[in-house]
Amino acid sequence: MSDMTKDVGKEIKRIAKEVYSTITDKKLPSLNMPIRALQNVKYDPKIGYFELVGKNKERTLAASTSRTFAQTLMMMNESKKIVETDDIATKREVYYISKNWGDARFNDQPESDTVMDDIEAMMMINREQLGFIPEEKGGDVAGKLIVMDKDTDTGKEIKIDCTKFGSGAYSVPSSVEHLKFQTDAKFILAIETAGAFQRLVKHNYWKKANCILISMGGVPTRACRRFIRRLADEMKIPVYVFTDGDPYGYLNIYRTLKVGSGNAAHINQYFCVPQAKFLGVTPQDIIDYKLPTHPLKDIDIKRVKDGVKNDPFVQSQKEWQRALDLMVKMKKRVEQQAFAAHSLNYVIDTYLPEKLKNPKTWLP
Amino acid sequence: MSDMTKDVGKEIKRIAKEVYSTITDKKLPSLNMPIRALQNVKYDPKIGYFELVGKNKERTLAASTSRTFAQTLMMMNESKKIVETDDIATKREVYYISKNWGDARFNDQPESDTVMDDIEAMMMINREQLGFIPEEKGGDVAGKLIVMDKDTDTGKEIKIDCTKFGSGAYSVPSSVEHLKFQTDAKFILAIETAGAFQRLVKHNYWKKANCILISMGGVPTRACRRFIRRLADEMKIPVYVFTDGDPYGYLNIYRTLKVGSGNAAHINQYFCVPQAKFLGVTPQDIIDYKLPTHPLKDIDIKRVKDGVKNDPFVQSQKEWQRALDLMVKMKKRVEQQAFAAHSLNYVIDTYLPEKLKNPKTWLP
């Protein structure tokens, strides 16, 4: 059992004791947790992620809250058992476990997910630390990185060398809190599509550029974001992001990776990667590299204009505003694969080396 | 360059020469390819996958077909270059390459995908053998398997031991034609969800059961299906499938893995896994294991009834008809995670061992 899990177990006991002693004092027990919503969020570039501004809600035991109150305590108890036995449970499994809780059982998974989010926010830790893991996996890795994991049966350390997987890759597990790293790579390149990742892996691009390649497969999962964040923090290496040049790549994939999202503000501090820089494909790259494009749809243009107007991240970044304005003016989007129009490996021979040498062409 | 790629290059040259000599003879050249549609398909359990019944279409050079004709030849030329340089190109990259083909360039990707499918069908090989790889990745693997790949730069063999990934996994590349295998595993367990896979990996289930675990992540991609097929054929080991007990798990995931799909009939022979058996979760398991369920929606019931009536696979399998009838009668579906209601590791300690001992409880 690691120090972290000991602390989680302890903290759950502390909260439970407080509730218990309040009850034995014949008072009504209550649980305190921050409100999780965009209205309770601010963005400061110096902090680097969407932060809670501190509005709290209190759940005091009453006739109307007794069921949720019981569910919260039962789920905390489940977490304690899981971390103490070094096990894991997916969100869906937790929902099924509740079927044994009598009247406190959940009727559907959204109900149990909400209680899980509340506990996360109340304890200000992420649910992976509570032993609750996401359903989805965490991205693919190739290149100059050794990941240290351990064998569940023997507890022995396992070294996973991400230079040794040929055309394949290391698939990041759903929970990454226990992993350790070794690397002398110069940077992490986080890539949107599996296709672009596969080309860079096929040509051992990580060897030439001395880097770590990570395939996000669209909007990165929690595990993928946490993996990149921990790797970048602990190994002190920069993170460059390479997506399609479209509103989805800019405002969903990159924005979520870098600063997090509004409705999960209580966990952004663990899952965002504030040190990330946007390498490309930028709207300016379309002009500089004479790339074939697709027309932007009206709905895309609306999405970009909304972003410029309402997204706290874009509002604080003049360079992003200028880039998005240029995109709206050109009414064009571009894909990572568009470099193939010059030649299949133009992205490896020309585009990535030129961009890496020229940080002025990046976006913050 | 492997024998396979030499053959592809040779075959492309042969077809091109034929077209060329027909033209120099002042005749109109033509290309022959099978019609790719459900009406041109049959299912024979002894063969094990949807087969083409042999209707062909002929593309003869004429004013109306000249553009498609040119595109077909240009794409074959591109394939020849790619296999000769041991490179790869995604479907989307091929579309962008065409931007240099003057009037023969594709206007959108569905157009270029159709020509790629035609070439695949004409040459009766899969497009990975033409050097064209899918955008998406190919599934995760953990357990008793060594995959042999090679280093692109040095050509040296790389051995990837799938027992050495800790809580992570080996991520299968987009194209698997070049991989070789070593294993003494007793079976392959193909799993629908990343969550169920993660539990089995966390507890080293592959060690206890002496098997290979493969996470399909929903409907398996081409690369995932081809990987399982090649592994099962070449190592002569059985394939057991473990999905949610719902119409999607039965008629989309399992059916596609085992016999293929209608609109890709020309490649089913490479991508299906006829030896696959359905381990669970079956409708009967809901009763036998007292599992918590969800109600089936009307649209699900309609989907099942359609399947029983129209799906050539279901029509030929009495046991599947009975299982689907039971499902419709109960109006219930069940998830892989439902075993957690008994205890978190019930699936490992009880369900999987019992099912593996009792092939009578499987479906064909």
A279 or B1: which leads in pLDDT = A279
Asked if A160's CB is within 8 angstroms of B166's CB, the reply is: yes
What's the pLDDT score for residue B133? Answer: 86
Closest Cβ–Cβ partner in B96, B133, B151 for A338: B96
Contacts of A166 in chain B (CB under 8 A): 147, 149-151, 158, 160, 173
Chain A, 30 to 69: residues with Cβ < 8 Å from chain B are none
Interface test with A, best of B86, B93, B351 (most A CBs within 10 A): B93
- Is A151 an 8 Å CB contact of chain B? yes
- Is A25 an 8 Å CB contact of chain B? no
Q: How far apart, in Å, do the first and last CA atoms of chain A sit? A: 39
Closest listed residue to residue B275, CA positions, set B254, B245, B293: B254
Residue A64 has pLDDT above 90, yes or no: no
Q: Which tokens go with B123?
A: 């040459």
Q: What is the mean pLDDT of residues A154-181?
A: 94
Are A304 and B57 spatial neighbours (Cβ–Cβ below 8 Å)?
A: no
Chain A, 73 to 92: residues with Cβ < 8 Å from chain B are 82, 87-90, 92
* Nearest C-alpha in B relative to A207: B153
Instruction: Give residue A106's identity as a one-letter amino acid code.
Output: F
Q: Which tokens go with B201?
A: 């990996």
Residue B6 has pLDDT above 60, yes or no: no
Whole-angstrom Cα distance, residue A268 to residue A52?
A: 9
What's the pLDDT score for residue B192? Answer: 94
**Parallel/antiparallel/unpaired status of strands B157-161 and B146-150:** antiparallel
What's the pLDDT score for residue B3? Answer: 45
DSSP-assigned letters across all residues of B313-347: HHHT-HHHHHHHHHHHHHTEEB-GGGGGGT-TTHI
Asked if A174's CB is within 8 angstroms of B166's CB, the reply is: no
Q: What is the mean pLDDT of residues A173-184?
A: 94
Q: Which tokens go with B227?
A: 């990987």
Closest listed residue to residue B134, CA positions, set B106, B157, B113, B118: B113
List of residues 6+ apart from B135 with CB closer than 8 A = A193, A194, A195, B90, B91, B92, B174
Closest Cβ–Cβ partner in A87, A99, A337 for B92: A337
Whole-angstrom Cα distance, residue B83 to residue B285?
A: 48
Q: B200 to chain A, minimum CA–CA distance in Å? A: 11
What's the pLDDT score for residue A38? Answer: 64
Whole-angstrom Cα distance, residue B213 to residue A241?
A: 32
Are A182 and A252 spatial neighbours (Cβ–Cβ below 8 Å)?
A: no
Taking each helix axis from N to C terminus, what angle separates B3-24 and B109-123, rounded to the nearest 10 degrees? 100
Closest listed residue to residue A270, CA positions, set A328, A315, A228: A228
**What confidence tens digit (pLDDT) does each residue in A118-136 have?**
898 888 888 888 999 887 7
Give the model's confidence band at B260: pLDDT under 50 very low, under 70 low, under 90 confident, else very high.
confident
Residue A56 has pLDDT above 90, yes or no: no
SS3 sequence, chain A? Answer: CCHHHHHHHHHHHHHHHHHHHHHHCCCCCEEEEECCCHHHEEECCCCCCEEECCCEEEEECCCCCHHHHHHHHHHHHHHHHHHHCCCCEEHHHHHHHHHHCHHHCCCCHHHHHHHHHHHHHHHCCCCCCCCEECCCCCCEEEECCEEEEECCCCCCEEEEECCCCCCCEEECCCCCCCCEEECCCCEEEEECCHHHHHHHHHCCHHHHHCEEEEECCCCCCHHHHHHHHHHHHHHCCCEEEECCECHHHHHHHHHHHHHCCHHHHHHHHHHCCCCEEEEECCHHHHHHCCCCCEECCHHHHHHHHHHHHHCHHHHCCHHHHHHHHHHHHHCEEECHHHHHHCCCCHHHHHHHHHHHHCHHHCEC
Asked if A164's CB is within 8 angstroms of B174's CB, the reply is: no
Chain A, 214 to 253: residues with Cβ < 8 Å from chain B are 215, 217
Whole-angstrom Cα distance, residue A122 to residue A294?
A: 46
What's the pLDDT score for residue A137? Answer: 79
- Rounded to the nearest integer, the mean pLDDT of chain A is 90
* Nearest C-alpha in B relative to A170: B170
**What confidence tens digit (pLDDT) does each residue in A18-32 have?**
999 999 999 999 888
Overall size of chain B counted in residues? 364
* Nearest C-alpha in B relative to A208: B153
Whole-angstrom Cα distance, residue B264 to residue B51?
A: 10
Give the model's confidence band at B5: pLDDT under 50 very low, under 70 low, under 90 confident, else very high.
low
Whole-angstrom Cα distance, residue B320 to residue B245?
A: 13
Find tokens 């120090």 and name the residue.
Answer: A3
Whole-angstrom Cα distance, residue B241 to residue A121?
A: 38
Whole-angstrom Cα distance, residue A123 to residue A361?
A: 41
Q: B300 to chain A, minimum CA–CA distance in Å? A: 19
Q: What is the mean pLDDT of residues B37-47?
A: 75
Whole-angstrom Cα distance, residue B281 to residue B273?
A: 19
Q: What is the mean pLDDT of residues A97-101?
A: 92
Element (H, E) at B132: strand B132-133
Q: Which tokens go with A64?
A: 């109307």
Contacts of A89 in chain B (CB under 8 A): 340, 344
Contacts of A96 in chain B (CB under 8 A): 292, 335, 337-341
Are B241 and B257 spatial neighbours (Cβ–Cβ below 8 Å)?
A: yes
Q: What is the mean pLDDT of residues A194-207?
A: 93
Asked if B151's CB is within 8 angstroms of A167's CB, the reply is: no
- Is A105 an 8 Å CB contact of chain B? no
Chain B, 283 to 302: residues with Cβ < 8 Å from chain A are 292
Element (H, E) at B170: strand B169-171
Asked if A147's CB is within 8 angstroms of B168's CB, the reply is: yes
Q: Is B280 helix (H, G, I), strand (E, B) or coil?
A: strand
Whole-angstrom Cα distance, residue A334 to residue A289?
A: 11
Find tokens 């009763």 and name the residue.
Answer: B287
Burial class of residue A108, CB neighbours in 10 A (0-12, 13-18, 19+): exposed
Closest Cβ–Cβ partner in B93, B207, B335 for A340: B93
Asked if A203's CB is within 8 angstroms of B344's CB, the reply is: no
Asked if B158's CB is within 8 angstroms of A165's CB, the reply is: yes
**What confidence tens digit (pLDDT) does each residue in B281-301 have?**
999 999 999 999 999 999 899
Q: How far apart, in Å, do the first and last CA atoms of chain B sit? A: 40
Give the model's confidence band at B38: pLDDT under 50 very low, under 70 low, under 90 confident, else very high.
low
Contacts of A149 in chain B (CB under 8 A): 165-168
Annotated active-site residue B96? The verdict is yes
Whole-angstrom Cα distance, residue A329 to residue B103?
A: 28
Give the model's confidence band at B39: pLDDT under 50 very low, under 70 low, under 90 confident, else very high.
low
**What confidence tens digit (pLDDT) does each residue in B198-251 have?**
999 999 999 999 999 999 988 898 899 999 999 999 999 999 999 999 999 999
Whole-angstrom Cα distance, residue B333 to residue B321?
A: 16
Exactly one of B96, B240, B346, B351 is catalytic; which is it?
A: B96
A288 or A92: which leads in pLDDT = A288
Whole-angstrom Cα distance, residue B174 to residue B188?
A: 20
Angle at B300 (CA atoms; ends B295, B303), nearest 5 degrees: 155
Asked if B344's CB is within 8 angstroms of A93's CB, the reply is: yes
Give the model's confidence band at B2: pLDDT under 50 very low, under 70 low, under 90 confident, else very high.
very low
Asked if B337's CB is within 8 angstroms of A194's CB, the reply is: no
Residue A161 has pLDDT above 90, yes or no: yes
**What confidence tens digit (pLDDT) does each residue in A266-279 have?**
777 788 999 999 99
Chain A, 158 to 187: residues with Cβ < 8 Å from chain B are 158, 160, 164-175, 178
What's the pLDDT score for residue B201? Answer: 95
Q: A142 to chain B, minimum CA–CA distance in Å? A: 10
List of residues 6+ apart from B160 with CB closer than 8 A = A164, A165, A166, A168, B146, B147, B148, B149, B170
**Parallel/antiparallel/unpaired status of strands A187-191 and A211-215:** parallel
Interface test with A, best of B109, B145, B344 (most A CBs within 10 A): B344
Q: B195 to chain A, minimum CA–CA distance in Å? A: 5
Find tokens 């509730």 and name the residue.
Answer: A19
**What confidence tens digit (pLDDT) does each residue in B271-282 have?**
899 999 999 999
Are B347 and B196 spatial neighbours (Cβ–Cβ below 8 Å)?
A: yes
Asked if B166's CB is within 8 angstroms of A199's CB, the reply is: no
Instruction: Give residue A348's identity as a one-letter amino acid code.
Output: I
Q: Which tokens go with A127?
A: 């649910």
Asked if B171's CB is within 8 angstroms of A140's CB, the reply is: yes
Closest listed residue to residue B225, CA positions, set B149, B174, B163: B174
Interface test with A, best of B154, B192, B198 (most A CBs within 10 A): B198
Are A122 and A19 spatial neighbours (Cβ–Cβ below 8 Å)?
A: no
Find tokens 């913050």 and name the residue.
Answer: A364
User: What stretches of chain B show up as alpha helix (H) in DSSP?
Assistant: 3-24, 66-84, 91-97, 109-123, 194-202, 205-209, 222-235, 247, 255-259, 268-271, 283-288, 298-310, 312-315, 318-330, 346, 352-357
Are B221 and B176 spatial neighbours (Cβ–Cβ below 8 Å)?
A: no
Please count the CA atoms within 13 angstroms of the CA of A115 that sit on its side-chain side.
Answer: 27
Q: What percent of chain B has pLDDT over 90?
A: 65
Q: Is B61 helix (H, G, I), strand (E, B) or coil?
A: coil
Give the model's confidence band at B263: pLDDT under 50 very low, under 70 low, under 90 confident, else very high.
low
Closest Cβ–Cβ partner in A151, A168, A204 for B171: A168
